[in-house]
Amino acid sequence: MNEISAKQEKVLAAMAAHVLEHGLTTASLRPLAKAAGTSDRMLIYHFGDKDGVIGALLEYLAAGFVSGLDMAIPEERFATKGALLAAVVTVMRSPIAAGYARVWLDIVAASARGEIAYAQTGGAIIDGFVAWVAARLPEGEQNPDRAARALLTVLEGTMVMDAVGHGDAADAAIAWFSGDGSQ
């Protein structure tokens, strides 16, 4: 359905790099076009309007994120839920993931503001992420879906805490999640 030429792909890649550095919701057409070596005129021509540009960008970024995540953490079952969470948090804290974290929090804030396009994309990303986590949970988990969602919720919390400079709190949550909370 979405036939994109090699040229389009290059444009998207360049814009994605710009967005990963500067944020998504603050991006405007002219800077985006400049980063991609084209003009706002051309972006509108190819994507219809700004929403089209943002939508394509979101799709591109989401795909890049999951492939990067798969690269960093191949599909294999972890010994404990805590180890899996710690591994994902480590990846999310790496410099190359920082841009994705920024964009993700932009999506979340826009969703909370009621922008349904963002909320839908955000929900879809979470759905994919739940499956991704469930496939890496220790074997014998009674309710993998439920466990994956709980783990993801804690992960989201750590991203928020990291964003406001409270990685210490995030660490406390990870440690607590890894133990049973009693220590």
Partner DNA sequence: TTCTTCTTGTAGCGAGTGCTACATTTCCGA
Partner DNA sequence: TCGGAAATGTAGCACTCGCTACAAGAAGAA
Q: In the bound complex, what is the minimum distance in angstroms from residue 30's beta carbon to a copy of itself?
A: 19
Give the span between the Cα atoms of 117 and 62, in whole angstroms. Answer: 14
Burial of 2 (C-beta count, 10 Å sphere; 0-12/13-18/19+): exposed
- Maximum CA extent, the chain: 60
Using CB under 8 A as the binding rule, whether residue 79 contacts a copy of itself is answered as no
> Who's near 52: CB < 8 A, 6+ residues apart?
none
Residue closest to 29 by CA, chosen among 57, 62, 68, 60: 57
CA distance 136 to 21: 30
Tokens of 89: 């948090």
**Position 21 contacts DNA (CB under 7 A):** no
Question: x/- site string to a copy of itself, residues 3 to 32, per CB under 8 A?
Answer: -------------------xx-xx------
Q: How far is the CB of 40 from a copy of itself (least distance, A)?
A: 21
From 7, 30, 41, 166, residue interacting with a copy of itself (rule: CB under 8 A): 166
Q: Closest CB to a copy of itself among 42 and 117?
A: 117
- Whole-angstrom Cα Rg for the chain: 18
Cα 91 to chain center, whole Å?
12
Q: Is 44 a residue that touches DNA (CB under 7 A)? A: yes
Q: Which stretch binds DNA (CB under 7 A): 34-42, 86-94, 124-132, 164-172?
A: 34-42
From the list 30-38, 45-53, 63-71, 159-167, the region that binds a copy of itself by CB under 8 A is 159-167
**Which residues of the shown chain bind a copy of itself in the complex (CB under 8 A)?**
22-23, 25-26, 81, 101-102, 105-109, 111-113, 119, 122-123, 125-126, 130, 146-147, 149-150, 152-161, 163-166, 168-170, 172-173, 175-177, 180-182
